[in-house]
Chain A
Amino acid sequence: MDNYIKDRKVDSDGWMPFTGLEDGSSLPTGDIYVPVEEWLNAREALLTRNGRLGVALRNTDDPAIIKDDLDRLDLVVLEFPKMADGRAFTQARLLRERYGFKGEIRATGDVLYDQLFYMQRCGVNGFELRDDQNASHSLKAFDEMTVTYQPASDEELPLWRRQK
Chain B
Amino acid sequence: MYQYSEQDHQLLLERVSQFRGQVDRRLKGELSEEEFKHQRLRNGLYLQLHAYMLRVAIPYGLLSSEQMRTLAHIARKYDKGYGHFSTRQNIQYNWPKLEDVPDILDDLAKVEMHAIQTSGNCIRNTTSDPLAGVARDEIEDPRPYCELIRQWSTFHPEFNFLPRKFKIAVSGATHDRAAVAVHDIGLRLVKSDSSEETGFEVYVGGGLGRTPMLGKVIRAFLPKQDMLTYLEAILRVYNMLGRRDNIYKARIKILVHETGEEKFRELVEAEWEKIKAGGLFLRDEDFNWVKGFFNDPAYEAIPDNDVDFENLMLNNAEFARWVDKNIELHKQSGYRIVYLSLKTAHQPPGDVTADQMDAIADLADKYSLGHIRTTHRQNLVLSDVQLKDLPALWEELKALDLATPNYNHVTDIISCPGLDYCALATARSIPISQAITARFDDYDFINDLGDVSINISGCINACGHHHVANIGILGVNKKGTEVYQLTLGGSAREDAAIGKIIGPAFEADEIVDAVGKVLAVYLESREEPEETFLMTYRRLGQAPFKERLYG
Complex Cα–Cα for A115 and B160 (A): 9
In contact, B5 and A163 (Cβ under 8 angstroms) = yes
B254 located at the interface, meaning its Cβ lies under 8 Å from any Cβ of chain A in the complex: no
Q: Which of A89, A119, A150 contacts B280 (CB 8 A)?
A: A150
Nearest first, the 3 A-B pairs at minimum CB distance are A86-B161, A121-B157, A151-B279
Decide yes or no: A163 and B7 within 8 Å by CB, A89-B158, A98-B274, A149-B152 being known contacts: yes
Q: Which of A117, A145, A156 contacts B279 (CB 8 A)?
A: A156
Contacts of A163 in B (CB 8 A): 5, 7
A47 located at the interface, meaning its Cβ lies under 8 Å from any Cβ of chain B in the complex: no
Would you list which residues of chain B between 147 and 162 have a CB under 8 Å from chain A? 148, 151-162
Q: Which of B5, B159, B161 contacts A83 (CB 8 A)?
A: B161
Would you list which residues of chain B between 235 and 279 have a CB under 8 Å from chain A? 236, 239-240, 244, 274, 278-279
In contact, A117 and B7 (Cβ under 8 angstroms) = no
B1 located at the interface, meaning its Cβ lies under 8 Å from any Cβ of chain A in the complex: no
What sequence of 0s and 1s flags, for each residue 275-317 of chain B, a beta carbon within 8 Å of any chain A beta carbon? Answer: 0001110000010011000000000000000000000000000
B332 located at the interface, meaning its Cβ lies under 8 Å from any Cβ of chain A in the complex: no
In contact, B11 and A93 (Cβ under 8 angstroms) = no
Would you list which residues of chain B between 57 and 87 have a CB under 8 Å from chain A? none
Chain B residue nearest to A151 in the complex (CB): B279
Contacts of A112 in B (CB 8 A): 35
In contact, A146 and B155 (Cβ under 8 angstroms) = no
What DSSP secondary structure best describes chain A's contact surface?
loop
Contacts of A37 in B (CB 8 A): none
In contact, A147 and B10 (Cβ under 8 angstroms) = yes
B97 located at the interface, meaning its Cβ lies under 8 Å from any Cβ of chain A in the complex: no
Q: A98 to chain B: closest CB distance in Å?
A: 7
Decide yes or no: A85 and B244 within 8 Å by CB, A122-B157, A159-B7, A161-B286 being known contacts: yes
B325 located at the interface, meaning its Cβ lies under 8 Å from any Cβ of chain A in the complex: no
In contact, A160 and B157 (Cβ under 8 angstroms) = no
Q: Which of B17, B156, B290 contacts A150 (CB 8 A)?
A: B156
Complex Cα–Cα for A84 and B242 (A): 13
Contacts of B18 in A (CB 8 A): 144-145
In contact, A148 and B158 (Cβ under 8 angstroms) = no
In contact, A160 and B289 (Cβ under 8 angstroms) = yes
Chain B residue nearest to A81 in the complex (CB): B244
Decide yes or no: A83 and B158 within 8 Å by CB, A149-B151, A151-B280 being known contacts: no
Q: A128 to chain B: closest CB distance in Å?
A: 17
Contacts of A50 in B (CB 8 A): none
What sequence of 0s and 1s flags, for each residue 144-184 of chain B, a beta carbon within 8 Å of any chain A beta carbon? Answer: 00001001111111111110000000000000000000000
Chain B residue nearest to A143 in the complex (CB): B14
Complex Cα–Cα for A98 and B158 (A): 14
Contacts of A159 in B (CB 8 A): 7, 151
How many chain A residues touch B (CB < 8 A): the figure is 35
Known A84-B121, A118-B161; further 14 A-B contacts with Cβ < 8 A = A86-B159, A89-B158, A90-B158, A118-B157, A119-B157, A144-B14, A145-B15, A147-B11, A149-B154, A159-B7, A160-B148, A160-B151, A160-B286, A163-B5
Complex Cα–Cα for A119 and B280 (A): 20
Contacts of B157 in A (CB 8 A): 89, 117-119, 121-122, 148, 150, 152
In contact, A122 and B279 (Cβ under 8 angstroms) = no
In contact, A150 and B152 (Cβ under 8 angstroms) = yes
Chain B residue nearest to A149 in the complex (CB): B151
Chain B residue nearest to A140 in the complex (CB): B21
What sequence of 0s and 1s flags, for each residue 129-156 of chain A, a beta carbon within 8 Å of any chain B beta carbon? Answer: 0000000000000001111111110011
A157 located at the interface, meaning its Cβ lies under 8 Å from any Cβ of chain B in the complex: yes
Would you list which residues of chain B between 1 and 17 have a CB under 8 Å from chain A? 5, 7-8, 10-11, 14-15, 17
A114 located at the interface, meaning its Cβ lies under 8 Å from any Cβ of chain B in the complex: yes
Chain B residue nearest to A117 in the complex (CB): B157
Complex Cα–Cα for A149 and B156 (A): 8
Q: Which of A84, A87, A118, A145 contacts B240 (CB 8 A)?
A: A87
Complex Cα–Cα for A86 and B164 (A): 11
Contacts of A156 in B (CB 8 A): 278-279
Q: A113 to chain B: closest CB distance in Å?
A: 8
A100 located at the interface, meaning its Cβ lies under 8 Å from any Cβ of chain B in the complex: no
B38 located at the interface, meaning its Cβ lies under 8 Å from any Cβ of chain A in the complex: yes
B447 located at the interface, meaning its Cβ lies under 8 Å from any Cβ of chain A in the complex: no
B22 located at the interface, meaning its Cβ lies under 8 Å from any Cβ of chain A in the complex: yes
B532 located at the interface, meaning its Cβ lies under 8 Å from any Cβ of chain A in the complex: no
Chain A residue nearest to B235 in the complex (CB): A90
Q: B385 to chain A: closest CB distance in Å?
A: 33
